């Protein structure tokens, strides 16, 4: 009989237990699809006595994940602990050093240490697979490294944090503000232990850095990703965007420009009629554009036990079949240092301003925009019952540097209340 593929699973939270359930439930199906049994040899977590809803009695137990990673009776180390330092990093390095392949769902680990880990793995003939690290159950890594490998990728973009998309779509559907929905997400357990990872765009930024590396043949460069969260989005912005035929999304975009590789995870307006504009709730979506394929849209659940465990299993089954691909789609030593674009491509922008309702205020506002080289495409002033007049502007295309200059000028006019809100309009 063909030798089984033996797994050691570190981390028995939602995803780890989901993997255990799939292997127990579909043992015969997995063997039929790979030609060999897929079995769990040992597991690791902090608390062996915790009831996780499934029996773990058949597996050896290691309290220390590094000890699990170095066991002689496992072939694949499955890292589902999370965190870019500490136990996850140490155990992954130990697994590679002792000849194990690695499957992980840890986007932070790979976004920050992925280059070094990939070089370590590939120097020893090992593989690191991480489908579950980006967009949950959506097979976006496999799409880029395999299905679209014959394309020169021109742009990758997407909604890759379900919590943020849930908050933004619920703001529009219910009329509730950001703070109320943030508290609801906290009570429902939708937020990370550090909520800024979600609402600040950091979690999604890790994912974008990994996709950009595969798409453009560059070393992962999370520090080059421009990050802006959704904390400043007000219900007024949601309503104004809808009035103009747009919806607001926390959108990741990676693309090559004449000035380098642009990577940003920021709130943007997208056409309401587009696939991204129609995305509801906690669902994720990734759009890939290539020279031969033109555009591919991938949509699906971005988190949860089943979808994420499904992605982990896809990587495990590829290893069982003997499929061995470089971590980021090409040899790690061939990846380039990404030339970071200091300024993105020009785009139209939405701006919400609060002006003092007095003579000359609009003229000063227009002058500040003109001094920055920004022309107004559309402007709307809403009815108001106070001394502050809400004004909505859509600019013609301008650069981020021009926009920053304009905001500095607006703040210096003496007729502004608060800081203007400015959001890029991403045409699809």
CATH of the domain at 241: 3.30.360.10
Catalytic positions, written as ranges: 207
CATH code at 10?
3.40.50.720
Per-residue model confidence (pLDDT) at position 2: 83
Per-residue model confidence (pLDDT) at position 83: 86
Residue 409 belongs to what domain range? 349-425
Q: What residues contact 354, with CB distance under 8 A and at least 6 apart?
A: 388, 389, 390, 391, 416, 417, 418
Asked whether residue 66 falls in the same domain as residue 159, the answer is no
Tell which of 42, 74, 104 closes a domain: 104
Residue 88 lies in a domain: yes
Say how far apart CA 324 and CA 346 lie, in whole Å: 40
Say how far apart CA 47 and CA 249 lie, in whole Å: 39
Asked whether residue 98 falls in the same domain as residue 151, the answer is no
Residue 192 lies in a domain: yes
Per-residue model confidence (pLDDT) at position 342: 64
Residue 125 lies in a domain: no
Asked whether residue 284 falls in the same domain as residue 165, the answer is yes
Q: What is the pLDDT along the chain (428 residues), one digit of tens a residue?
A: 589 999 999 999 999 999 999 999 999 999 999 999 999 999 999 888 888 989 898 999 999 999 999 999 999 999 999 888 899 999 999 999 999 999 999 999 999 999 999 999 999 999 999 999 999 899 999 999 999 999 999 999 999 999 999 999 999 999 999 999 999 888 877 778 788 889 999 999 999 999 999 999 999 999 999 999 999 999 999 999 998 899 999 999 999 888 889 999 999 999 999 999 999 988 999 999 999 999 999 999 988 889 999 999 999 999 999 999 999 999 999 999 988 776 678 999 999 999 988 889 989 999 999 999 999 998 888 777 778 888 999 999 999 889 999 999 999 999 998 888 999 999 88
Residue 111 lies in a domain: no
- Reduced to 3 states (helix: H, G, I; strand: E, B; else coil), residue 255 is strand
| Global confidence as pTM | 0.93
Question: Number of folded domains in the chain?
Answer: 3
Say how far apart CA 380 and CA 392 lie, in whole Å: 5
Supply the mean pLDDT for the chain.
93
Give the count of beta carbons closer than 10 Å to the beta carbon of residue 290: 19
Q: Are strands 294-301 and 226-227 parallel, antiparallel or unpaired?
A: unpaired
Q: Which residues share a beta bridge with 155?
A: 255, 289
End-to-end CA distance of the chain: 52
Say how far apart CA 237 and CA 16 lie, in whole Å: 39
Residue 177 lies in a domain: yes
Per-residue model confidence (pLDDT) at position 343: 65
Say how far apart CA 5 and CA 2 lie, in whole Å: 9
Asked whether residue 285 falls in the same domain as residue 372, the answer is no
Asked whether residue 92 falls in the same domain as residue 203, the answer is no
Say how far apart CA 330 and CA 327 lie, in whole Å: 7
CATH code at 358?
3.30.70.260
Say how far apart CA 289 and CA 150 lie, in whole Å: 12
């Amino acid at each position: 009989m063909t030798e089984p593929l033996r797994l050691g699973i570190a981390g028995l939270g939602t995803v780890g237990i989901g993997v255990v359930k799939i292997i127990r439930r579909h043992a015969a199906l997995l063997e039929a699809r790979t030609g060999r049994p897929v079995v769990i040899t040992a597991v690791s977590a902090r608390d062996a006595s915790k009831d996780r809803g499934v029996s773990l009695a058949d597996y050896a137990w290691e309290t220390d994940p590094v000890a699990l990673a170095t066991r002689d009776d496992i072939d694949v180390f499955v890292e589902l602990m999370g965190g870019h330092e500490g136990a996850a990093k140490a155990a992954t390095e130990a697994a590679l050093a002792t000849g194990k392949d690695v499957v992980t769902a840890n986007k932070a680990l790979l976004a920050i240490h992925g280059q070094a880990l990939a070089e370590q793995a590939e120097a020893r003939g090992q593989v690191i697979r991480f489908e579950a690290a980006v967009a949950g159950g959506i097979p976006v890594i496999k799409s880029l490294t395999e299905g679209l490998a014959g394309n020169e990728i021109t742009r990758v973009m997407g909604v890759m944090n379900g919590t943020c998309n849930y908050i933004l779509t619920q703001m529009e559907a219910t009329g509730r503000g950001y703070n109320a929905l943030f508290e609801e997400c906290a009570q429902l357990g939708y937020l990370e232990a550090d909520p800024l990872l979600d609402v600040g765009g950091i979690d999604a930024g890790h994912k974008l850095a990994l996709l950009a590396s595969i798409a453009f043949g560059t070393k992962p460069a999370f520090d080059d990703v421009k990050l802006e969260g959704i904390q400043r989005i007000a219900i007024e912005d949601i309503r104004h965007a809808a009035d103009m035929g747009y919806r607001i999304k926390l959108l990741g975009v990676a693309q090559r420009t004449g000035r380098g590789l642009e990577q940003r995870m920021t709130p943007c307006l997208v056409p309401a009629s587009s696939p991204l504009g129609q995305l509801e709730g906690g669902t994720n979506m990734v759009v890939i554009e290539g020279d031969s394929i033109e555009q591919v849209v991938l949509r699906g659940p971005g988190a949860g036990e089943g979808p994420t465990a499904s992605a982990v299993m896809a990587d495990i089954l590829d290893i069982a079949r003997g499929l061995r691909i470089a971590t980021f789609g090409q040899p790690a030593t061939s990846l380039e240092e990404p030339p970071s674009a200091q300024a993105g491509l020009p785009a139209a922008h939405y701006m919400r301003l609060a002006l003092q309702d007095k003579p000359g205020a609009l003229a000063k506002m227009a002058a500040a925009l003109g001094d920055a080289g920004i022309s107004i495409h559309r402007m709307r002033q809403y009815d108001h019952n106070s001394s502050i007049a809400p004004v909505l502007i859509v600019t013609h295309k301008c650069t981020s540097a021009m926009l920053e200059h304009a905001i500095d000028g607006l703040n210096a006019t003496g007729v502004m209340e608060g800081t203007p809100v400015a959001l890029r309009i991403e045409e699809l």
